[in-house]
Every structure is written in structure tokens, then in C-alpha cells.
Structure 1
Amino acid sequence: MTDTQPAVEQSPVVEPMVAPFAGWVVHPDWAERVISRAYDNLSPLQRQTLVASNPYSYMNVTRSREDLFDNTDISQDDLVAEGAAALTRLLKAKAFTPTGRPALYLYRLTHKQGMQTGVVCTVPVGGFDDGRIRIHERVHDDRADLLTTHLQGVGATSSPVAMAVRSTAELHNQLFDITSAVPADLEFGSTVVRHQIWTVPDDYTESLAAAFDHQVLYVTDGHHRSAAAVRAMAAEPNDPVLARTLAVVFPDDQLHVQAFHRLAVDHIDRTSEECLAALDDVVEVTPVFSSQQARPQKRGKAGLYLGGSWHQVELPSTVGNGAVNGLDVERLRRSILCPVLCADELSQPGDVEYLPASLGLDELARRCDADNRVGFALHPMTVRELMAVADERGLMPPKSSFFSPKPRSGVFLRVLGRGATAHLPAS
């Protein structure tokens, strides 16, 4: 360049939204033992039983304190060390096979509600800060910190953050073409939910990744894993492996949202009759004869379980503008959980427990009776309501939506080259 030539302005390099990765895939002979059901789909007792009975379940790698029978006082460092030991056990057994090349994968779930096909890939962690990847839920710091330590200490991830992208004809056509051309590489599951995996052929990889250019992604499941990825990168900004995280991205029109029901502590420690009277002072409460009658059939309604009886609740009107304020979870939090029960789910972990709707209202009642809690059954939101909150940079309370079915852990392994994988090349 001469002195008379104008300088060419350099555009900032933007990482691709969706990129292939050189991961590992569970060996078909090990799939049944290693692949674990979604964490939130299991009760603590079910997780404890699974961890104790199957040392090769991937849940041994990712377990938390409540997943252990006798180690509730175990330190975070010891918990991560046990996770690393569990991963080492899987690697020594050759339960996972390295693919040896970067690739994208398709993950299809077929169930009674329909079918959803997502792209398994890595996405840029920086996208959470620059608005290309949007969240909609708050997180509890203790859970996010544990998952951050897990990333740093265990050295691999197998639970992709589930995301949605606005559907396009181009994306649908590519997904159809790939899955129609060849049989799936791996199949597992049951007649209730069938899981299928395809490796995207090389000649489709570039065009499929390009279908996500200039698109916004929305986290649907995995807000704590997302927060952990952000915190890990912030702690080690010069590690290129931590600059991306494992994800699976589904077209939004294929997803189905369920509610997360609430089980709240009454910090005033009233009798059931006194608590019911306090609730009746702020919302309309109607007794019903069964859980089926209490099940909310539309927005603005909630089921209430208290002292062995079911009721219907009319939630108060929306206060304030914004997509978040119109949601049932926020109306419940602002009008009942905080002011009436003094249960602060935003700053006091444990004040409110969460139950996916898939476990049923009988399980809600059982847990309320066992733990002396007040139960609230909620109506699910829609995917577009979730996206509207994220577009406004709003944040719902934790566990506001539950997507089911969801991809399982133990299918893919993204190696980070540290902890239990320090001897392996990062992917």
C-alpha cells in the first residue's frame, strides 16, 4: 500500500454461529448403559438409585450433592473429583469413540406430540454477551458455580445446551434432505420417545451451518450450563476451547413447552387453614374435588395444593409493561410467593422447588405432603412468549419453562483437554 492509497477498514471477525466439532460419540454397544435420561425428568431418589446402580451412566459424571445417598456434605471440589473419576472410568472402558474429524450432527426425537430435529454443534460463548444468543431465565449462582467448576475440573461436556431458532424453509429442507438420504447412525430410546442421530455429510456441512448466519438463537433448556460456559470463559479468556460450547439447535415450530410447577415454603409457618385464608385475601381461591379439576386450562389460572386439598386460583392481573410481567410464573412470584409466603425464589435457593409437569400432579401432591409445602400447578407458556421475553432482554424466574422430550447426556462428548481429558486433544 502506498502513502496515497486509502486504508481499508478491517471488519471485526465474527465467529460462526454454528460450527462443527471433532467430538466423541458413544459406542453403540455402550449406549444403553451410558446414555442417561434428562436430569430434570428424574426425582432425586431416582437419580440416587441410578447413580448407585450403574457406574457407567453418564449421570455419575454430572451428579450434584442431592444425587448421592450418603454424601450430602461432600465438598464441591470432591464432587468434581468424583465426576472426573467417573469420566475416566468411561474413557478406560472405551465407551466413547473419537470421530477424528470436525462434524455437525442431527438429533431427532420422535414422540406422541410430533417430531423435532436439531443440529448438534458448538456455538460462540461470546454470543451470550453480544445478543446473538438470548436467554430468558435467571439462574442460581450456586448451581452455575458448580457447573463452572465441573467444566474446569472434569474436562468434558456431554449435555448440549438446547436452543431454538426461528424456522425457515431453507433449514427445514436441509434437515429433511439429510435425514432422508441415509439411515440414522445411532438409535436408542423407547416407543415413547425415539432418539436418532445422523452425522451430517461433508457436502452439507457448510450450507447447513450457513443457514444459521445472521440468526438469533434462544436458549430453551440449559440456562445454568450457559452461565457456566460464560463464567469459565471469563475466568480463562485466552483458552480458545472455552470460547465455544456444545449446543443443539431446533427450529422453534417443532418444540413443545411444558410448565414447571412450584412447591413453596410458607415462611410464616401457618396452619393450612391460616395459609389458605391469607391466600384468599389476595387472590380468588375456589375449592375443587380433584387434581384434574385443579389443572389450569388457560393462562391466568393455577392449581393450588394445600393441606391435602386442591383448589383453583385466579392469578392477579398483570402489573407493568413488558413480556415478563404478563407471564403466569411472574404473576405468581410477585403476588403470592413473595408477599404471602415470603418465599423468595430469586435470592433464596430452596424456598421454591420445581417439578416438571411431565411428573404429574399426584407427584406434586406427594412431595407437598412429605415436605410441608404449598403446591402451585401452572399452565405452560408458548415458545413465542419465551422468545418475546428474550428479545426484550427480560428474565423470568428460574425454571419457568420445561421442554420435553429433550436430548440426553452421554451421546456426544466434547473434550476440553483438562481434568480427566488432559491427556487428550481438545475438540
Structure 2
Amino acid sequence: MTDTTSVARPQSQSEPLVAPFAGWLVHPDWAERVISRAYDNLSAQQRRALVAANPYSYMNVTRSREDLYDNTDLSHQDLAIEGASALTRLLSSNAFSPTGRPALYLYRLTHKQGMQTGVVCTVPVRGFDDGRIRIHENVHDERADLLTAHLQGVGATSSPVAMAVRSTAELGNQLFDITSSTPADLEFGSTAVRHQIWTVPDSHTEQLAAAFDHHALYVTDGHHRSAAAVRALAAEPDNPVLARTLAVVFPDEQLHVQAFHRLAVDQHHRGVEDCLTALDDVAEVTPVFSAMQARPLKRGFAGLYLGGSWHQMELPPAVGNGAVNGLDVERLRRSILDPVLGADELGQPGAVDYVPASLGLDELARRCDAESRVGFALFPLSVRELMAVADENGLMPPKSSFFAPKPRSGVFLRVLGRGATSHLPAS
């Protein structure tokens, strides 16, 4: 069935939407040491502890300033040099092996909520401009610039941008046929989340790639990595390696969304009572006894943490039409964060920070207490809400959704032939 909200590939565009790549895979004997959890799944403190304890974790390659105990004034280029050094250590240890041929891969995550199977591939960076790949979130320039420097200086990518495609019976049948006919090439993880990797046989590759023709892809996790790919190609428009970026595409019906909670700084430096009064002037705020009572159970409500106490808050009505304006994250930004707290989420670095729902409300409260911030616990969006925003070319605030579980870093390498891989052929 044709999806009327997707777009056909422009006739002038010869590059495929989904394509195989000649990547490298982590050696099974190294998987436990190298493969690392997604960056957003860990706090800065957890990331610091991880890289200090394990020099072979792929997290060493992708560190940012807050992941370092010292040298926090390092430039983006300095951090890229550090990442290249960590990648060189992995390559010298033969932690990764080249697959020797262009291939697609299947990545399955099995967890208590169900199972999701995605196609690991490369996608065209120009697809972000021509409508074939759609985004729904704004980005912070600081983070996007760091990841651009990473692309330009480290020499490989290993964290695929996660995307969704509208589910079809054709795609589902192909994924089932491949995974049911052969055992996985690699398995790792835990009883909570089991990760499995299959190499797609040559006989299935062309047909599987063709299943994505005439459909749009939607970025679900990795907007900053997407922005970095666009910026890197803009800096080197004739570089064929930078013309594509690593991605994993899941059928949308298999995905699960969690909220990204907000921690905002009251830029007016008011005391707890004055700040609470200002919030109560624009939203209905009700004190509650615990985080459990404050946890929002439906759209339009948020938990509020301020001065050691929890409250339930009904968000002000939406301002304007359009899919994005009705979302809780946008209602919070436009009616509370900016006008009441003076915290410009889009233009003021550090005014708003984020805690994924997976870390729990206790972590939100701990961070608020330690950093004198105001906490907002939000109800999660749905996948189809995100797609509706993207179809309208709308943009939510950064970190508006948290997809879990996430594919991990350090499983694949797409070699870029520069930095630590300047001596290797690009893939």
C-alpha cells in the first residue's frame, strides 16, 4: 500500500535511499569490552567512570568535555584528536574486523516491551534537504559542532542515526525471512535487552533496499549526528564518503518513546516561593506528596519539582496551530520556560538541561537539588506525533523524545579514510 504522507524519490536523484556499506564489525571476543551504551543513556558521571575503568570502551572515542575529569577547556578539534587516539588503540588491538564486502545488516533489540528489528545501512546526507529524510527537533550548535569535528577528525562513525519508516507488510516479511532462516552473527547485551546482528545475504540485499523506495525516513534518535553529517558535507561538498551517513531504520510500529525531562535555571534568581507563585500564575499547580503522584499520566500535565517538593502542573493551552504547537514540550517551552523562567531553550546554552525518563524521577530531583534548577517531568510523545511534526516541517525543542532501548555504539565501524583511518580504504 502506498503511503500518501511519504515522498517518492526525486527522479533526478540517482543515489539510493538505503544502501549497503563495506563496514567493519567488532570481533565477538572484544564485544563485551568495546560495545558501549548510547551516550544519552548515561549521565556525565557514569560516562566518566566508564572511560576511566575501560580504555577499550567505544565511549573513549566519542567523549565530550563533560566526560573528562580535567582538561574541560579542550576545543572540539582537541577532543577529536583524543577520539582518534582511542580509535587507533582499538584498531591496533584488532578489536574490529573488516567484512570485506558491501552489505546491509539487521539489528534486533528484544526487551520487555517487545522486539524491534532495523536495517543498518547508509543514507544520503542530501536526503535531509530533499524531503526523503525528515527531522522533528532543533539542535544545540555546540553539540552539533562537536560531532562535526568528530566526523572530520576521528576517522570513523559507529553510532548510527536511528530512523523510522512507516511499517509495511513487505518490509516486515523480508525482515522475518532473513532472521528466521539463519542464526545471528553476533549477540550481546543482557536479560533486560538482548541485541542481535545479522549480515543480510547478497541474495536479499537488493530487494530489501528497494523496500524503502518511495518512502520517507524519520529521524527518531540522532538529530545532532544528522546535523553534523549535513555540516561536514557542506564543508566538503565533493567528498563522496561524507555524502552518506550511517543509519539504522526501524518500522515505526515497533518503536517505543519515553520522555526527556527538563531541568531549567530560573534566570530571575527568585526564591522557591516567588518562583512557585510565578509558575502558578500561568499554570494550575497542585502540591503532591511524592514523585509517583507528580508523574504525568496523560498529555497536558507535567510533574514540577522545586525546592525539594513535588507538584502536579496542568500546562497552559497550546499557542497557534500545527502539530508541534500542541505538544507538551512546546507548550512548556513557549508558556513557561521562556516567559516565566527566562530560560531560552533554543538560544541560551545551559539554561535548560535534560534527563531521560529511563534514569528516573529521583535522578531529576537529585540534579535539581545539586544545581538549583526547576524540574519538569513530562508525558512521552508518540511515534506518530513525531512523524506528523516532521511531515509539516515543524521542529520541536531539542531532546523532545527518548527512544529506548537504543542501538549501541562500537558494533559497526564505517571507515572514513581520515584521522585514525587515513591508512584504510573508506567504506
Q: Where on the TM-score scale, by shorter chain, does this alignment land: which range?
A: over 0.9
SS of residue in 2 equivalent to 1:240: coil
What is residue 129 of structure 1 aligned with on the other side? 129
Cα displacement (A) at 1:12: 2.2
What is residue 70 of structure 1 aligned with on the other side? 70
What is residue 46 of structure 2 aligned with on the other side? 46
SS of residue in 2 equivalent to 1:162: strand
Change (3 A) 1:221 1:11: closer
SS of residue in 1 equivalent to 2:61: helix
The answer to whether the aligner puts 1:271 opposite 2:271 as a matched pair is yes
What is residue 113 of structure 1 aligned with on the other side? 113
Q: Take 2:268 and 2:137, find their aligned partners in 1: how far apart are those partners?
A: 27
Cα displacement (A) at 1:221: 0.2
Residues 10-409 of structure 1 aligned to structure 2 (within 5 Å): 12-409=12-409
SS of residue in 1 equivalent to 2:355: strand
Q: Take 2:12 and 2:313, find their aligned partners in 1: how far apart are those partners?
A: 53
Partner AA of 2:424 in structure 1 = L
What is residue 6 of structure 1 aligned with on the other side? none
Q: Take 2:343 and 2:13, find their aligned partners in 1: how far apart are those partners?
A: 46
Q: Take 1:155 and 1:401, find their aligned partners in 2: how far apart are those partners?
A: 29
Structure 2: runs of 5+ lacking an equivalent: 1-9
Q: Take 2:279 and 2:13, find their aligned partners in 1: how far apart are those partners?
A: 55
Cα displacement (A) at 1:165: 0.1
Partner AA of 1:174 in structure 2 = Q
Cα displacement (A) at 1:37: 0.5
Cα displacement (A) at 1:11: 5.5
The answer to whether the aligner puts 1:419 opposite 2:423 as a matched pair is no
Q: Deviations over 1:37-86 (max 9, x none)?
A: 01111011000011111110001001000001112112222111100000
SS of residue in 2 equivalent to 1:414: strand
Q: Take 1:120 and 1:76, find their aligned partners in 2: how far apart are those partners?
A: 28
What is residue 4 of structure 1 aligned with on the other side? none
Partner AA of 2:235 in structure 1 = A
Q: Take 1:20 and 1:139, find their aligned partners in 2: how far apart are those partners?
A: 28
Output the TM-score relative to the length of structure 1: 0.97
Cα displacement (A) at 1:318: 1.1
Q: Deviations over 1:284-304 (max 9, x none)?
A: 000001000000000000000
Q: Deviations over 1:80-102 (max 9, x none)?
A: 11000000000000000000100
SS of residue in 2 equivalent to 1:303: strand
Change (3 A) 1:117 1:11: closer
Is the 8 Å Cα contact of residues 159 and 409 (structure 2) preserved in structure 1? Answer: yes
Structure 1: runs of 5+ lacking an equivalent: 1-9
Q: Take 1:14 and 1:385, find their aligned partners in 2: how far apart are those partners?
A: 31
SS of residue in 1 equivalent to 2:287: strand
Q: Take 2:132 and 2:177, find their aligned partners in 1: how far apart are those partners?
A: 27
Q: Take 2:251 and 2:312, find their aligned partners in 1: how far apart are those partners?
A: 35
SS of residue in 2 equivalent to 1:261: strand
Q: Take 1:12 and 1:222, find their aligned partners in 2: how far apart are those partners?
A: 27
Partner AA of 2:84 in structure 1 = A
Is the 8 Å Cα contact of residues 303 and 378 (structure 2) preserved in structure 1? Answer: yes
Q: Take 2:11 and 2:341, find their aligned partners in 1: how far apart are those partners?
A: 53
Q: Take 1:309 and 1:382, find their aligned partners in 2: how far apart are those partners?
A: 29
Partner AA of 2:266 in structure 1 = D
Partner AA of 1:354 in structure 2 = Y
Q: Take 1:324 and 1:256, find their aligned partners in 2: how far apart are those partners?
A: 19
Partner AA of 1:321 in structure 2 = N
Q: Aligned Cα RMSD in Å? A: 0.9
Give the count of matched residue pairs. Answer: 418
Q: Take 2:418 and 2:17, find their aligned partners in 1: how far apart are those partners?
A: 25
Partner AA of 2:418 in structure 1 = R
Partner AA of 2:197 in structure 1 = I
What is residue 6 of structure 2 aligned with on the other side? none
Q: Take 1:14 and 1:311, find their aligned partners in 2: how far apart are those partners?
A: 55
What is residue 3 of structure 1 aligned with on the other side? none
Is the 8 Å Cα contact of residues 104 and 199 (structure 2) preserved in structure 1? Answer: yes
Cα displacement (A) at 1:319: 1.3
Is the 8 Å Cα contact of residues 233 and 242 (structure 2) preserved in structure 1? Answer: yes
Q: Take 1:418 and 1:210, find their aligned partners in 2: how far apart are those partners?
A: 31
Higher gyration radius (CA): 1
Q: Take 1:232 and 1:280, find their aligned partners in 2: how far apart are those partners?
A: 45
Q: Deviations over 1:346-398 (max 9, x none)?
A: 00121000000010001100110000000000000100000000000000000
